[in-house]
Structure 1
Amino acid sequence: MYKQQVIRRIFLCFLPGLLYPFSLLAQHAVEVAAKADTSSIRLGEQIKLQLTATISAAQFKDANFKVVFPVLPDSLDHFEVISRTGLDTASNAGQKVLHQTFTLTSFDSGHWEIPPMRFEVFAGASTAHDSALTLPIGIDVNTVAVDTTKAFKPIKAVQSVPWNIWDYWLYIVIGVVVILLAIGLWWYFRKRPKKEPVIKTPTVTPYELAMHELQSLKEEKLWQQGDIKQYYTRLTDILRTYFEHQFGIAALEQTSEELLRNIKPVTKLNQQRDKLRSLLAIADLAKFAKMQPTADEHEGCMRQAEEILEWTKPKIEPVNETVNEKPSV
């Protein structure tokens, strides 16, 4: 008798511990379900499969509590997954309902079952997760009924659809707009006043410009200040620029000998060849051989440059003015 009392007391002591896991399962119980919108389809028709998990509001607010929905592959047994939605949440009588919808189809005729879906339930980091399964769903996939007692109907010929202008109204509007735009552009460019080319008349002749620069060179008095090289460089550059503008000779890119050879076709300039040769010889010696010409040579080179310009300047032809005389009576 005493032993029985001891065993009963020990059993009562361990009973709460044995029942604690079951109380946790009851506390974290999740109601899951899988429902299809139809149980019978024809080949190629679609099925809406909705998976739901119902939990309490306290479980929904618990950050450690989590329900993982099953991941369906693109192909199940006899079924193909066409699309799937995201996970949505709705409220129902103080509970939270998590749901996800899949669109399935099948091309195999017969009676097939959508397999049970496994939901994973995590009650917390320190508690092992639990699983919840849904029931399988039976689906009948039927073929198209064919009445074999009736004769086969002949294939109908292709029927032409009657032409209707309003079926092409958009293309007509676009065509009209393009035509009007083309006509408007043609009219605009035709009537637009043509811009007359602006002919720039030189206000200063090459001769006048060269004489002005020679006068400026005189006033600067470079050789009087000892800048012999700069004096002859400026003097020859003025003449070479004049030859380019007046006679079309590339004088700035040519040596002295090349310049003297190329002035032969120019009659007026060739007549001054000896003066130009003397001037270029003294200038080359002063610029490159560091020769120091005398004051008379400096003034002589300037005088020769002026004589070359005066000799070769273009003549201004007089304008013949016709005077209308009245006939004598």
Structure 2
Amino acid sequence: MYKQQVIKRIFLSCLLGLLYPFSLLAQQAVDVTAKADTNSIRIGEQIKLQLTATLTPAQFKDANFKVLFPVLPDSLDHFEVVTRTTLDTLVNQDQHVLHQTFTLTSFDSGHWEIPPMRFEVISGANSTADSAVTLPIGIDVNTVAVDTTKAFKPIKAVQAVPWNIWDYWLYIAIGITIALVGIGIWWYLRSKPKKEPVIKTPTVSPYEIACQELKILKEEKLWQQGDIKQYYTRLTDILRTYFEHQFSIAALEQTSEELLQNIKPVTILNQQRDKLRSLLSIADLAKFAKLQPTADEHEDCMRKTEEILEWTKPKANVVNNPGATATGEKQQA
């Protein structure tokens, strides 16, 4: 009885010793596949090639167990890789499936094979390397059938693409933005308070400056040389500048009629209104209507200018206060 038990134990030990390598091999085996979604395409069409590796839960949880997918170049024999996805994992019941999808195309007609795909399997603490290979996949790449018995068809005319406002949304947005910016600038400039012109009071009285400029104008003898327009332009500018500095009237910016209206509040100046009107009238005709006044009229305009200056010149005690002159004349009136 004892001998029989010993014989059984020896037999079982030998049997387990024989089966152990096969159990290790079964644990390390990985099921790898390469599948195409079709085996026949036309030139330029695409194929979805899916590579998968199926792992058991023990293999998946083993930190020393790794499966390396084949690295496909951008171009294979008669095939080109269009796109490739990243490696992903799916859990199917008790199995873990690693998969990656490649999009291939071909521009060579004929029967071609996608070559076998080699997966590297690394296992064990010593990083033992092994490999698993898939089967090749046959693909028929067909040309487009052409019926040579039929007549050639004419080339189709160019078809217009329907207009769509969303095709121009960027240009519309830019246009609206520019319009809003323009309106904003216009509104800002419109609402911005205008700065009042600063009238600088000369250290020399306006009357003295006007007299000096009239003297220079006489010496230049412009109208005697035929420069009538320049003569009357200088003459009226001297008078207008005098009004602006002496009576604070924006005479240089006003027309002749506006100037005649704005001198009414200044009594002493308004008393010379008729002379000023006559002078400005002849000057405007000479400057803008090319009127040729006579020599007497030239002299008369100069004389009227001097009379206006003499009549409105400030008194000695108010030279430095031009506003007092106008106020005092109003009180006298």
TM-score by length of 2: 0.52
In the alignment, which residue of structure 1 is the partner of 2:68? 68
Q: CA deviation at 1:176?
A: 4.6
Structure 2 distance, partners of 1:120, 1:166, is 51
Give the deviation of 1:21 after TM superposition.
Answer: 3.1
Q: Which residue of 1 aligns with 2:98?
A: 98
Residues 99/191 of structure 1: CA separation in 2 closer, same or farther (3 Å cut): same
Structure 2 Cα separation of the partners of residues 122 and 110 of structure 1? 38
Letter in 1 for 2:96: K
Which structure 1 residue ranges, 5 or more long, are not aligned? 1-9, 202-316
CA distance in 2, matches of 1:40, 1:152: 28
Aligned in 2, Cα 1:167/1:190: closer, same or farther, shift over 3 Å?
same
Cα distance in 1, alignment partners of residues 165 and 59 from structure 2: 65
1:149 aligns with 2:149: yes
Following the alignment from structure 2 to structure 1, what is the Cα–Cα distance between the partners of residues 186 and 83? 56
Q: 1:281 maps to which residue?
A: none
How is 1:189-208 mapped onto 2 (pairs within 5 angstroms)?
189-196=189-196
> CA offsets, 1:279-315, max 9 Å, x none?
xxxxxxxxxxxxxxxxxxxxxxxxxxxxxxxxxxxxx
One-letter amino acid matched to 2:58: A
Q: Name stretches of at least 5 consecutive residues in structure 2 with no aligned partner.
A: 1-9, 202-315
Give 3-state SS (helix, strand or coil) of 1:158's partner: coil
Change in Cα spacing, 1:15 to 1:37, as seen in structure 2 (3 Å) is same
SS in 2 for 1:129: strand
Measured in 2, the distance between the counterparts of 1:319 and 1:187 equals 45
Aligned to 1:24: 24
Alpha carbons of 1:78 and 1:11: their partners in 2 closer, same or farther (altered >3 Å)?
Answer: farther
The letter for the 1-side match of 2:150 is K
Does the 8 Å contact 2:113/2:138 carry over to 1? yes
| Aligned equivalent of 1:319 | 318
Q: Quote the Cα distance in structure 1 between the aligned partners of 2:45 and 2:141.
A: 9
1:39 paired residue number:
39
Three-state SS of the structure 2 residue aligned to 1:125 is coil
Cα RMSD over matched residues? Answer: 3.5
Q: d(CA) in 1 for partners of 2:133 and 2:197?
A: 91
The equivalences for 1:1-329 within 5 A come to 19-126=19-126, 128-160=128-160, 168=168, 171-172=171-172, 174-196=174-196, 318-319=317-318
Q: Percent of pairs identical after alignment?
A: 76
Q: 1:102 to 1:318 in 2, by over 3 A?
A: same
| Aligned amino acid, residue 193 of structure 1 | P
CA distance in 1, matches of 2:86, 2:13: 48
Are residues 136 and 153 of structure 1, via their aligned partners in 2, closer, same or farther at CA, if it must alter by over 3 Å? same
Q: State the AA in 2 paired with 1:99.
A: H
1:195 Cα shift? Answer: 3.5
Q: Which amino acid aligns with 2:25?
A: L
